[in-house]
Structure formats: C-alpha cells, structure tokens
Amino acid sequence: MLEYARWKYVLVAAVLLLALLFALPNFFGEDPALQLARKDHNPVDANASQTVEAFLTQRGVHFLKSYIDSGRLMVRFANVPDQLAARDAVNEQFTTTYITALSFAPRTPEFLRALGLRPMPLGLDLRGGLYLLYQVDVNAAVAQALDGYAQSARRALAAANIPVTDVSAVGVGTDKPNVRVVLPAAADVNAARNALNLPLQGLSVSTDSLASGSAITGVLTTAQIRERQDYAIQQNITTLRNRVNELGVSEPIVQRQGIDRINVQLPGVQNSAEVKDILGRVATLEWRLVDTQDNAFEAQQTGRAPLGYKLYTHTPSGAPVLLKREVIATGDELTNATTGTSQQGPAVNVKLDARGGDSMLKTTRQNVDKPMAVVLIEKRRETSEVDGKKVSRDVTDEQVISVATIRGIFSNDFQVTGLAAGEARELALLMRSGSLATPIYAIEERAVGPSLGRENIDKGVNALIVGMAAVFIFMAIYYKTFGLVADLVLLANVVLLTALLSMMRASLSLPGIAGIILTVGMAVDANVLIYERIREEVRKGVSPQAAIRAGFEKAFSAIADSNVTTLIAGVVLWVFGTGPIRGFAIVLTLGIATSMFTSLMGSRALLTLMYGGRRKLARLSI
C-alpha cells in the first residue's frame, strides 16, 4: 500500500482551490475604459454614476457597463473610439468635477469584484503608456541642508550679539561640503563656538585663523551626505506618487532606479506633455511682507535692494516689489490646498500646519492693513547650444503672484488670490501633492502605444502556449500516464503562480512572461528527476508502489539543491534589480516556490490517489 497523510491531501486541495479563485479574474479579459475621480477627493457615489451614465447616453456615446471601484467610476467600452469620445464629452461637461484617465477595465463578474479579486496589473510594455526616467539633483539636497545650517548659525550668532563677517555654504559637489562662518578680528571665537554648538550639531567643526580674523567651519560627514541624498530621493518619490494620483492615472509605477534616478511608468497615459509639465515642476510657495517704506522702482533702476529686503517682479502687473527676506511661511508647512472662489475671482484655499499657522498668526496680528505677498518659486533646467555643444544650466524663477492687504488676523486657514482659473487649479495640485525636495530632470522618455502593447501581449501569450504545448506533448509521449500527471501539475503550477501575482498586485511585463516560461521548464525538470528515479527503482525490481515512494524521497535532495541555488539568484535580483530585471526576478522567485509545491506535494498526492490503493499493481505506466 502507498499511503499519504490525509492533511496533505486537504492542504493541496485547499491551496489549488484558492489559487483557482484568485487566478479566475485573469481569464475574463479587459475592455477600454474611462476612469473618473472627483477633483475634491470625495468618492464617487451611485447618484454621480447615474448622472454620468445618463449624460453619455444623451450624447450618443455607447458604453458597456459602469461600476464604482475604490471610490472611482469605471466606464467600460467596446472599442477605443467610444472611449475617446466619452473622455472628450466628460472633460467638456464636467471640467470642474472630475479628473479623467484612459484605462482598461477587466470584465471580472460582479461577485468576484465584491470579494476584492482583481486580475494582475500589466506592465507598460503590455499595456502601453508613458515611461519617464528622472535624474535627481542630489547636490541640491546637500546645498539645502547646508543652507539650513547657515541660517541657524546666523540666528544663533545674532541672538548672542556676536559680530559676523560672512556665513556661507561652500564645497557643494565635493567630498567635504561645509558651512563656513567668518568672524572679524574683534569677535570672541570661544563665545562664537559655544553659540554654534546647537546650530552646527552633528557636523565636524574646526577653527582656523585668518589675516582678518577667524573662521569656524562645520563639515558634513559622508554618512550625513548619503542620508540627505537618500531623503531627497525618497521625498521626491513620494511627491511624484502624489502628483500621479492627483492626475488620476490608473496603476502607476514610481520607483527608485540606481543611486540618483527615479523611474515613472504611467500605463494608459497619452497626453504626455501635460503629465511631464506637472510631474517635473519644482514649485513651492513663500509668504513674505512687502516693504512699504522704500521705493521699489528706484531699487530696480540701481539694481540694489535695501538691507534685509529682496527685489521681485509682480507677475500680473510687471511692477517691481520689495519684500522682506524673512519668510513667514513656506509650502513645506502646507497641509492642504483646494481651488475656490473669492470676491477677487479664482482662489486657492490654503491650510497650514501648526508651525506655519503660529508664524502667520503672529505676523498678521502685528501687520494689519499692511500688504503681504505670495512668492512662487520654480526651478528648471535649460539647455542651450554653445560653440556647437549642448550646455545645461539650472534656472530658478521667483515671481510674486499675489499682493494683498492683511484685513484681519488669521493663522492656518486663508486664501491666495490674483490667479486665473487654470493657474489656481494647477497651483493647488502642486501644493497638495507637495514640493519636490530637490530638482529632477527628465533624461529619458519613451511612449508605448496601446497597439504595440496588445501585440506584445499576443506574442508573449503565444510563446507561453507554444512552449507549454511542446512540454505537455513531450511529457505525455515519453512518460505516458505519469506524463499526463506531470501536465496537470504544470497547469496547476501556472494557475498558482498567476494567483500569487494577482494577490501581490505585481505587474506582469514581457520579462515576467519569460519568467513564467522558465518556471514551467524548471517545474518539468523536477518531475523528470522524480520519474527517472522511479524508473531506476522499477528496473531494480522494486515493487511499483515502493518505487513511487523511493522516487520522491531520493529525488528530493537533488530538486532542493537545484532550486535553492536558483532561488538565491532570484532573491538577489528581486532585492537589487529594478524595472524589467525585478519583474523577471519576482516571477522567477515565486515560480520556484510554486513548482516545488506542485512537483513534490501535488504530484505525489495525485499519484498516490491513482496507485496507492491498488493491492495487485504489476507495472507502472511510465
């Protein structure tokens, strides 16, 4: 008799049934769809869905079905022309209500969606869309950190009444970026060092003697430089994700690539110019008081601003304006920003955090009936041709977008006015999603059309079908009944792998399909090792049932050794790889686990059911 523990039968059956359930949504296919999300971030309700359906019907736009998914309305269409017509109609009618995005919606039945089951998302090479690779200016992150230290040093020395010749950040881009404080000859160096203990805490501080006095230098350590650069990249990734979500893009991928790059994949996106403009803008706001005593036109003519002030240009009027260098609040202290209206026209409703609110409350309390300005700061990279060579330079644009009189005392809740409707919407989006920690520059752009994506899917699926069919035929011919068992096990392996990818929401790409085909080959290898061991035992004269038991037991070590070594390589690629490499590694790693389970447990359970209960078994069909 050939026995197998009852709990193992139950485990195999339960795993396969759950795998079939989770993999089921992938077999229904998908249709072109239009995704609608509310601009006020509230979920779309049933009434709104009915309104949109009635509008599309009135416009004569044919759609198949609509449903609400995670607070967003998905409308399915039979073809792309209907999808595009619906997008244009909705954008025209509901321009202030919804953000639309071209997408694909699965044909998954309602009862499966109610269980939270969804097909695995497709990568950019299969879905089509926009691929962007950004370079992060990590030196700017170090410069920002040094500027913060320098500003703290100025305040500490001023509070201690210690004279200062200069405080500046130097050495950015070198291995020793530092803050340098130059003191006059009459200054007390020891008192200055004591005052700088807290502002320069964590830096490597040294003192030098100069002909005109002394200098105190605080140098960033290598660990601090790396920490600041990593923080900037992670903050930029978070900001880009927020901006992508604000644009309503379906199933985006935003991830770090290498040391200083960010990879953005936007499936289904076609309006690349608008997306790139929003994603790449380095914009933040500052609120400053206006100088009402000095003449801004005179400062513009002389090119010199009074001490403690800075000269700007008021964008709407083009007039010069003098602002205090002291910043009341910045966009970093902002918690929310939405578009609205005021007596002056379109506006942005601003909410600050506690620190920004306290600073704004203190300023407005002391400056009622005085003007305050809003400064928009943007950074960009310009490329020009000099002597036949392309030269890039970083440009910072600072412009006053609003000057308004403080009519009352307020703190963390107020409005920014003086904007056009489009400017207000765009500014609110940028403020809501957060400012980029450092500038980013697009160094690669690649667009994949939907037709190419569909062609890639067809070719990948055909390769998988042909490869599996060839393996199935070979196994059935060479190993007879045992080969048919191996074919069932291989099919179960693909279903189990598909279920895992769907559960993890891992994007399937062309390298992933290659990983599935490789997994099938590795699973066949495990079955071949087991079956060859069984044949050896049969040739030795061992009884058929004992040969099956011995075949699984003796092949286990060889299967485990070969799979563990491949698993190590797969995990390393998963952890350290990016993009297509990581996609391949995910499928490969999961495929090793599923093939081990199906080959060792699934195959044995099935063979034991077939041959274990036979008392008079003369031979095996192998």
Question: What CATH number did the domain enclosing 54 receive?
Answer: 3.30.70.260
* Average pLDDT for 475-503: 89
552 Cβ contact list (under 8 Å, min separation 6): 530, 533, 600, 604
Spatial separation of the C-alpha atoms in residues 215 and 560, rounded to whole Å: 65
Q: What are the structure tokens assigned to 78, written together?
A: 């039979």
Do 10 and 39 lie in one domain? The reply is: no
Does 577 score more than 80 pLDDT?
Answer: no
* Average pLDDT for 310-329: 85
Does 483 score more than 80 pLDDT?
Answer: yes
Spatial separation of the C-alpha atoms in residues 120 and 508, rounded to whole Å: 7
387: left (phi over 0), alpha (psi -120 to 50) or beta: left
Instruction: For the chain, give the mean pLDDT.
Output: 81
Residue 277's pLDDT band, with cuts at 50, 70 and 90, is low
pLDDT at position 14: 92
**Interval 608-620: pLDDT, tens:** 888 876 777 777 8
Residue 123, in any domain of the structure = no
> DSSP string covering 113-155, please?
HHTT--PPPB-HHHH-EEEEEEEE-HHHHHHHHHHHHHHHHHH
**Interval 501-546: pLDDT, tens:** 888 887 777 888 888 888 887 888 888 888 888 888 888 888 888 8
pLDDT at position 418: 64
DSSP 24: G
CA distances from 164 to 145, 158, 180 (A): 21, 8, 11
User: Given the DSSP bridges, would you call strands 72-76 and 30-38 parallel, antiparallel or unpaired?
Assistant: antiparallel
CA distances from 189 to 153, 194, 210, 218 (A): 14, 9, 12, 14
* Average pLDDT for 452-468: 77
In this structure, of 89-103, 136-150, 434-448, 585-599, the range with the lowest mean pLDDT score is 434-448
Does 88 score more than 60 pLDDT?
Answer: yes
**pTM: predicted TM-score of the whole model, two decimal places:** 0.62
CATH of the domain at 213: 3.30.70
Q: Which among 92, 107, 122 is the end of a domain?
A: 107
Number of Cβ within a 10 Å radius of residue 294: 11
Does 602 score more than 60 pLDDT?
Answer: yes
Do 463 and 581 lie in one domain? The reply is: yes
Spatial separation of the C-alpha atoms in residues 310 and 528, rounded to whole Å: 78
pLDDT at position 234: 82
CA 141 distance to own-chain centroid: 20
Does 263 score more than 60 pLDDT?
Answer: yes
Q: Which among 368, 400, 418 is the end of a domain?
A: 418
Residue 17's pLDDT band, with cuts at 50, 70 and 90, is very high
Query: Are residues 372 and 328 in contact, defined by beta-carbon separation less than 8 angstroms?
Result: yes
Do 477 and 500 lie in one domain? The reply is: yes
Do 482 and 548 lie in one domain? The reply is: yes
Angle at the Cα of 478 from the Cα atoms of 473 and 483, rounded to 5 degrees? 65
Do 15 and 53 lie in one domain? The reply is: no
* Average pLDDT for 282-287: 72
**Interval 208-259: pLDDT, tens:** 888 778 888 888 888 888 888 888 888 788 778 877 776 666 667 888 888 8
Residue 441, in any domain of the structure = no
Do 293 and 156 lie in one domain? The reply is: no
Does 456 score more than 80 pLDDT?
Answer: no
> DSSP string covering 497-534, please?
HHHHHHHHTPPB-HHHHHHHHHHHHHHHHHHHHHHHHH
Residue 431, in any domain of the structure = no
Q: Which residue has the higher pLDDT, 353 or 298?
A: 298
Does 392 score more than 70 pLDDT?
Answer: no
Residue 422's pLDDT band, with cuts at 50, 70 and 90, is low
Residue 205, in any domain of the structure = yes
Q: Which among 210, 225, 240 is the end of a domain?
A: 225
Do 393 and 306 lie in one domain? The reply is: yes
Do 287 and 400 lie in one domain? The reply is: yes
> DSSP string covering 292-321, please?
-SS-HHHHHHHT-PPTTEEEEEBTTT--EE
Do 145 and 184 lie in one domain? The reply is: yes
Residue 412, in any domain of the structure = yes
pLDDT at position 496: 92
Share above pLDDT 70 across residues of the chain, in percent, rounded to a whole number: 88
* Average pLDDT for 42-71: 86
* Segments forming the whole domain that contains residue 481: 6-24+451-611
Do 464 and 583 lie in one domain? The reply is: yes
Phi, psi of 126 (to 5 degrees): -100, -30
CATH of the domain at 523: 1.20.1640.10
Radius of gyration of the chain (CA): 33
Do 79 and 220 lie in one domain? The reply is: no
Query: Are residues 574 and 585 in contact, defined by beta-carbon separation less than 8 angstroms?
Result: yes
Residue 433, in any domain of the structure = no
The helix/strand count (H/E) of the chain reads as: 17, 21
Query: Are residues 461 and 603 in contact, defined by beta-carbon separation less than 8 angstroms?
Result: no
Residue 449's pLDDT band, with cuts at 50, 70 and 90, is low
> DSSP string covering 332-373, please?
GGEEEEEEEEETTEEEEEEEE-HHHHHHHHHHHHH-TTSEEE
Query: Are residues 337 and 329 in contact, defined by beta-carbon separation less than 8 angstroms?
Result: no
pLDDT at position 18: 92
- Of 556, 568, 452, 567, nearest in space to 510 by CA: 452
Do 588 and 502 lie in one domain? The reply is: yes
- Of 563, 561, 530, nearest in space to 547 by CA: 530
Per the structure, the count of domains in the chain is: 4
Residue 89, in any domain of the structure = yes
Spatial separation of the C-alpha atoms in residues 255 and 262, rounded to whole Å: 6
Residue 520, in any domain of the structure = yes
**Interval 362-385: pLDDT, tens:** 888 888 888 888 888 776 666 667
- Of 586, 575, 569, 572, nearest in space to 505 by CA: 586
Residue 579's pLDDT band, with cuts at 50, 70 and 90, is low
Number of Cβ within a 10 Å radius of residue 582: 21
